[in-house]
Amino acid sequence: MILFFGTRVRRRVLGVGSFRCPFCLEPRRYEHLEQRTWFHLFWVLTLFPVGPPRESVRCSVCAGEWAPVVLQSQALD
């Protein structure tokens, strides 16, 4: 029997808003994300999380991702 296994990253949106994107240098919409790596079997059966969740902020225009610290100094709303 052949087993196919691996990992997959799942993202969950924690919030949205506006900020000054460090790459675009313009006010842009962002998504505050929580990312977690999961172990899976046969590309379908997700079994358990691997490691702690990570948070990031993603620009909706350039899709760049940064640490949530960028929101503390640059929040627009």
Using one digit for the tens of pLDDT, what is the confidence trace for 20-30?
A: 999 999 999 99
Q: Is residue 30 part of a domain?
A: yes
Please state, in angstroms and rounded to a whole number, the distance separating the CA atoms of residues 35 and 61.
19
Tell me whether residue 21 is in a domain. yes
Query: 13 in a domain, yes or no?
Result: yes
- Whether 3 has a pLDDT exceeding 90, the answer reads no
Res 76 pLDDT > 70: no
Domain contains 49: no
- Whether 75 has a pLDDT exceeding 70, the answer reads no
Number of other CB atoms surrounding residue 22 within 10 Å:
13
The answer to whether residue 68 sits within a structural domain is: no
- Domain assignment present for residue 28? The answer is yes
Please count the structural domains in the chain. 1
Q: Which domain holds residue 14?
A: 1-38
CA atoms within 13 A on the CB side of 25: 0
44 — phi, psi (to 5°)?
Answer: -125, -50
Q: Say if 31 falls within a structural domain.
A: yes
- Quick check: is 76 in a domain? no
